[in-house]
Amino acid sequence: MKFINLFAIMLLLTPLILAKTKEEWKTRTVYQLLTDRFYRDNDDRSSCGNLRKHCGGTFKGITKQLSYIKGMGFDAIWISPIPINQGDDYHGYAFIDMYKINPHFGTDEDLKELIRQCHKQDIWVMVDVVANHVACIGEDYGRIHPFNKREHYHNPCQIDFNRMWQDKYMRENCRLFCLPDLDQSNPYVRSELKRWVRYIIDTYGFDGIRIDTVAHVPLDFWKEFADAAGVYQVGEVLHGDVRIVAEYQQSLDALLNYPLYYAMKDSFTQRQSMKRIYNSLQDIKRGFKDVTVLGTFIDNHDQPRFLHGNNNIPGLKNALALIFMAEGIPMVYYGTEQAYNGGGDPNNRESLWDHMNTRSEMY
């Protein structure tokens, strides 16, 4: 009897890890949100004064508003990277300590409670992860944990975005903007990144991962990283050429369907022929190993909103219908349901709490 009671207590204290496979994820629809911009846990609905700085969204805030997400029919969420960043880096994509939770978002227990409450409501949780780079610290590597030595990084050089896709060495070794580039060929870096992704899955109970900047890391690393994670992975390769993006499905379950995104943008917002979408769908079907697990989307935190520069609500509805009907896993960016129309970063990263209208036309 004592053993049974002890076992029951352990179950309560430890996240139940039932790895969600790519086959299971095919049944889900994903609501992508930025943790800092979704909801404040103190219910303060005043607008954010500066979109380049922290606005106050938290894990507790998401937990408070799960009914808002559930009310649209979504049964999965994609949240921002969880490690602590430096200064005003509200987005989460530039960590200084991979193992510490971002205090702007909340505590370790706040995150665990969010995932517990999501699972109670049959909402799966995907977390964004970064394994390519760290925060903008110049060459002051001692500020980063656990990668605090010069040998953990590639030699400093800068990516030229005009030549990046023609120069693989540059793409995989040089810095995106000011972000020091991790050297995954270093045995310590390679093993620690894999250990970390397994750690966050086991500790918090995430059901899937979205992987940032996939094209900036050698392909062979991602197979090991995916195996270590043990859950569904969808990677970002920001390019419209099927051949370039599909190559990475050799190592990962799925990629964001950027080729379809660019085709939809051309047809729905640039008024090109719908044949552009038809041809893209044919190319995608021929080029990818498994189309059914790709992430389909109409915009995200890296792209201007679909409605930016236009007020084409019928076109927005048609584009959403396409990503829900096409093969793949639909991933809808927060604010779409409120017809947000922000432009490039940071204007496409608006606060949501001041416009959570459950009677809006798009909700």
* pLDDT of residue 61 exceeding 60: yes
Mean pLDDT of the region 302-329: 96
pTM: 0.93
Burial class of residue 16 (count of CB atoms within 10 Å of its CB; 0-12, 13-18, 19+):
exposed
What mean pLDDT value characterizes the chain? 94
Is 105 within 8 Å of 62 (Cβ atoms)?
A: no
Locate 180 and state its tokens.
């020091």
The runs of H, that is alpha helices, within 39-149 are 59-64, 66-70, 108-120
* pLDDT of residue 77 exceeding 60: yes
Among 325, 271, 334, 272, CA closest to 305? 334
Q: How far apart are CA 285 and CA 266, in angstroms?
A: 19
Q: At 147, which helix (H) or strand (E)? A: none
Locate 43 and state its tokens.
């219910």
* pLDDT of residue 173 exceeding 70: yes
Mean pLDDT of the region 51-68: 98
Instruction: With H, G, I as helix, E, B as strand and everything else as coil, classify residue 74.
Output: coil
Confidence class of residue 28 from pLDDT cuts 50, 70 and 90?
very high
pLDDT in tens, 86-134: 999 999 999 999 999 999 999 999 999 999 999 999 999 999 999 999 9
Which residues does the annotation mark as catalytic?
Answer: 212, 236
Counting every residue, how long is the chain?
A: 363
In terms of DSSP bridges, do strands 329-333 and 95-101 run parallel, antiparallel, or are they unpaired?
A: unpaired
